[in-house]
Amino acid sequence: MEILEYIKEQKALYELVNELEIIAQNSSELWEIESKLRLSDIMANAFILQKDGYILPTTFGLESKEANEALRKALSKYIDTMSLYNLDTKEKRWRAFQDLDVDSVEDNDVEEFFEWIEDLDDYI
């Protein structure tokens, strides 16, 4: 699907995945399973479930300070952008975040950087 065909929620995910690809060029640990699990937990708590008082961490296990800052900025941007849309239930946010119809410039999808969340009850 071309970016012009994406709806606004998909465009935000497209931008996030592309930003993560750029970060991963210098921080290969972003491709590792430990990173995927950590980022899934963060997105489940910060975005999908919107847990009260949850604050994005300042470090994500990446080797460089710059990479950690860039990752925090990318996640914050995605969460802030998605808050503008009518995603008023955790199920809507969950589906929007795990949209496999969205591919990056390099043909990666959200599963390249985040572990697939099978059941939201695992995070409650």
Average pLDDT, the chain: 91
CA distance 1 to 80: 24
Tell me, what's the pLDDT at 121? 73
Query: For 96-110, what is each residue's pLDDT tens digit?
Result: 999 999 999 999 999
Q: Is residue 124 predicted with pLDDT exceeding 70?
A: no
SS3 108: coil
Q: Which residues have a Cβ under 8 Å from the Cβ of 111 and sit 6 or more positions away?
A: 100
Query: For 14-47, what is each residue's pLDDT tens digit?
Result: 999 999 999 999 999 999 999 999 999 999 999 9
Query: For 47-78, what is each residue's pLDDT tens digit?
Result: 999 999 999 999 999 999 999 999 999 999 99
